[in-house]
């Protein structure tokens, strides 16, 4: 566990020392939150949503922040490949599983921090958290999103050598995942074929879990969301660990 902690600590120090990275990662979520939230709040009416459209999309924007930060933390693997750090780490007498877990926990932690920053900002624009227990529920779902998609990013990065190619592939994959998650629209009113695609999206269950924690309402049973997202997290960590063990440097 010392190796896991050391790799995690390295990721945290790199994150905290890069102020531009912290601020830059907030740009798109804040833009969506302010432009879509305030722009559509007065014209979009959602039955059963006491906090209006802006309250509805806040859990989705939090999920977006966690998703993008966690996935793109996988680029650290390619960076370490190119600069030789990964090779030095892999030849050390430690297991590759520990190295991968350290990277996963580090990426998940930074992504959850980004999500919490968006959550705090949301409190200043009208979000009312139902209870402390609800906040803890939302935190658990943020953590699951962070772990699963960090492992996803590491799995993809383990098979790639080029940082630009990684970014292009991630954008190609991540935007549909976010777009189909119900982060910006209620899934109950979708056509059946589109709703089926939405239910296949693992982020959907994270968005609905956070929405239940923060607002006390959800379009999917929160326990079912927890089970599905936990299963997806375990699967991605196992897959990421397997592909990382096969990595060549």
Characterize 152-185 residue by residue with b for buried, 16 or more Cβ atoms within 10 angstroms of its Cβ, and e for exposed. Answer: bbbbbbbebeeeeebeeebeeebeebbebbbbbb
The count of domains in the chain is 1
Q: Are 109 and 11 in contact (CB under 8 A)?
A: yes
Give the angle 171-220-203 at the CA atoms, nearest 5°.
15
Cα–Cα distance, 210 to 188 (Å, whole number): 17
For the record, the structure tokens of 185 come out as 């629209």
The number of beta carbons lying within 10 Å of the beta carbon of residue 84 is 10
Q: Which backbone phi and psi does 169 adopt, to 5 degrees?
A: -65, -40
For residues 234, 235, 238, 243, the Cα torsion angle rounded to the nearest 10 degrees is -150
Q: What is the pLDDT along the chain (249 residues), one digit of tens a residue?
A: 678 888 888 888 888 887 777 777 777 888 878 777 666 666 666 655 556 778 888 899 999 999 988 988 888 888 777 777 777 777 777 788 888 898 899 999 999 999 999 998 888 877 777 788 889 999 999 999 999 999 999 988 888 877 777 778 888 888 889 988 888 888 877 788 888 889 999 999 999 999 999 888 888 999 999 999 999 999 999 998 898 887 776
Structural domain that includes position 130:
2-245
H and E: helices and strands count for the chain: 12, 0
């Amino acid at each position: 566990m010392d190796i896991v902690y050391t790799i995690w600590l390295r990721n945290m120090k790199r994150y905290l020392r890069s102020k531009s990275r912290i601020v830059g990662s907030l740009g798109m979520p804040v833009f969506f939150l302010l432009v879509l939230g305030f722009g559509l709040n007065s014209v979009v009416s959602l039955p059963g949503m006491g906090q209006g459209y802006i309250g509805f999309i806040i859990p989705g924007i939090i999920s977006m922040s966690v998703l993008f930060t966690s996935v793109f933390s996988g680029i650290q693997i390619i960076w370490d490949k190119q600069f030789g750090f990964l090779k030095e780490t892999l030849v050390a007498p430690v297991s590759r599983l520990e190295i991968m877990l350290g990277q996963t926990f580090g990426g998940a932690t930074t992504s959850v921090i980004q999500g919490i920053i968006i959550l705090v900002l949301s409190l200043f624009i009208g979000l009312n958290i139902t209870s402390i227990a609800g906040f803890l529920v939302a935190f658990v779902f943020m953590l699951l999103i962070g772990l699963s998609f960090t492992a996803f990013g590491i799995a993809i990065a383990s098979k790639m050598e080029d940082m630009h190619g990684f970014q292009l592939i991630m954008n190609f994959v991540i935007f549909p995942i976010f777009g189909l998650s119900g982060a910006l629209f209620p899934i109950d009113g979708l056509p059946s074929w589109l709703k089926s695609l939405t239910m296949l999206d693992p982020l959907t269950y994270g968005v609905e879990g956070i929405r239940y924690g923060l607002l006390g309402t959800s379009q999917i049973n929160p326990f079912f969301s927890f089970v599905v997202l936990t299963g997806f997290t375990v699967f991605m960590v196992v897959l990421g660990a397997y592909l990382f063990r096969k990595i060549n440097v």
